[in-house]
Structure 1
């Protein structure tokens, strides 16, 4: 079986001694998957099984189990190498857009200067220099005035109010302006199941549907909501069991999540699963304006250059850099258009996406408020869960077997413990 990186990370976070319920809660996995992954990991890393007198199992792993796996599997070493290589490669890809923008502006600007200089020189020669003072004047609009963060007193005041820090350099900011910074909810499903498992754990393994609803989506109305069909995936993932009270109310309890390897504090959780809104860019406002300004400068420069190269005769006469730029002109123009079009389209897409996220957050919050203002029926339902709530912590004193020591040694130690316990009881009896 392929080792699950999520389970490996959960084992490390939990201190290398875990139960299936611990890992299912920490990683947000279903119980069956967590159990199988723990068995595979224990088998491949020399982990140990500890069996409590209640029949529950604790997995004990060596703290260097990742080193054991790296030495054992070439595939894991290749994956780690590729992760490092991809990190470098992706960084080069990110900065390449800013580099290409700078190169594009430089090529366009230098080509325009060469062409204008050549045209003015030809005019001077034809006119005997009579129009040398002004015939070749070329006005290139200064587009940076608007994108200068300090172009007006009002804007300076507003900027002081909205000052945004950024750890991005110029080239990283260009990429962020173009493509953003990734999905802020990439781990939403993992977080959803972690929080649901934590809610169950906080309530000692027994909950009502209304306590889970603020962390779920697509609950709907009518039949599905009335009969709590939305709880089926939760029951499947964490091996839960429904119970019905004498009043016909349904509660759910999860035996595996009631067992822990170590005593843990009650987790502090948000009252509902909140999705993060998409940001246009992590770059500062000044970096965004600079990127937009350079994009406009590049686009306008490409249009001006295109008008100068329209008939193709100038490039043929001058050759060299101008001829090269004419050969890649459509690439420069396409990049200029894309540099402005992509962020604009992304801006409207983010607004639409955020409106959907806001709706989902609002629905979950309304279900959390319903729980916070529970009526008598719901309070009675929650009270019924207390009959099934339990918490079991397996310490070393509860163990009847551990695979980390020889079975004969364990039997001898167990017998010694029993004898010592009888001796203490006899001493107490004789003292009385």
Structure 2
């Protein structure tokens, strides 16, 4: 259940600023005089709205770590907002201009050609071959969008359109906009993005750690801790410190249902959610050719009928061409048609950088799969050669520099404080911390039993007698043995499989998307940027 966003308590914010964003619950209670339950609620609320996460202090207490400036999570620099707003306004304006220019001028030029051809047919007789046939009208009808101009909804590209029912596929004009500006970028709400994470929490019996979130999202450790802090504030999370000092997050409210025990299937792990290379337009080749020829026709006619005659007359000292013809049929459509080609050309220069970023994220996700497969169960070493081989096998149709793979592996090793050894063949890495966090989460699940909504045994009480304390020590020893024997294999789905997931699947309804759990390969030939 999402919490209702309220105005943060100013006294808590002021106290955190004085404490430079780093405080325990006791620090905030002392600084504000608030009751501890109110202070704890205020801190969790701030975790939802401001950048921050939870750590474990040396004393074993929970430590709230916020940005010293108490920056809000959605805060953006002014110039970033300005650039985005300017580009958005330009896109809207150019789309309106496109709807008028491309179609109206295409129709005008076609009518002019019809008139020329009809005049030619009159000169040659009615049976001449210069007339305008019925087939030409069918072509015009298709180009103008036979499905109508009133259909709503976003267009994420041809792969998206193929998944829709035939009568609901987007009209041609949306493909025209995609040709210029690219397919619409999915903009899921925070609730939509949280959907699969909540499903993961429920599948893990209401208990989750940042390492388990990384298994699902591929986030860095720092970003995963930030995200767990936000989820704690948004969905009534209760952070716990395990006996080994790990922060484990419990979400009891997500495990309550009016329909009995909550059961959920874990979503796909991050190595089965790779990103496809981004395409320039997202259209099929046929659509791009049709759009390009349509604009090329306008460009040619504008040059031949208005621009070239006007410039020729001016160059030869002849009487100037009628301004309506020169500007109306020459300069204006020529300028529009030139921009129509220039905008996607300029966008293509940034497409390489975008796809390199996607490739790096895919490499990280694949390495997360390899590291987790050798760490969650029995902790094993990962030689660099194995990592390179694993990534190249999964991305065999793409050029993956070994240096990039090594760099991403070193980043993972630094984030998880991995052990490193040097061999004759190179370095190898070992990630025992990952298994430790999974074990602590599993033991917390057994302790809390949130799926049954009842508490497990008490770990410590100040009223213990000597005999009770001795028994608890024996129980603690048994739990240490349990840590070594706990089976975590069910929390590592499909460690050897690799899959892709389209961006738009996050925001589409399951029925409309018609998605199926399957592995898909990258095409053998890298797709053209112009598709």
TM-score, normalised via structure 1 length: 0.48
Structure with bigger gyration radius: 1
TM-score, normalised via structure 2 length: 0.40
Is the helix fraction higher in 1 or 2?
1
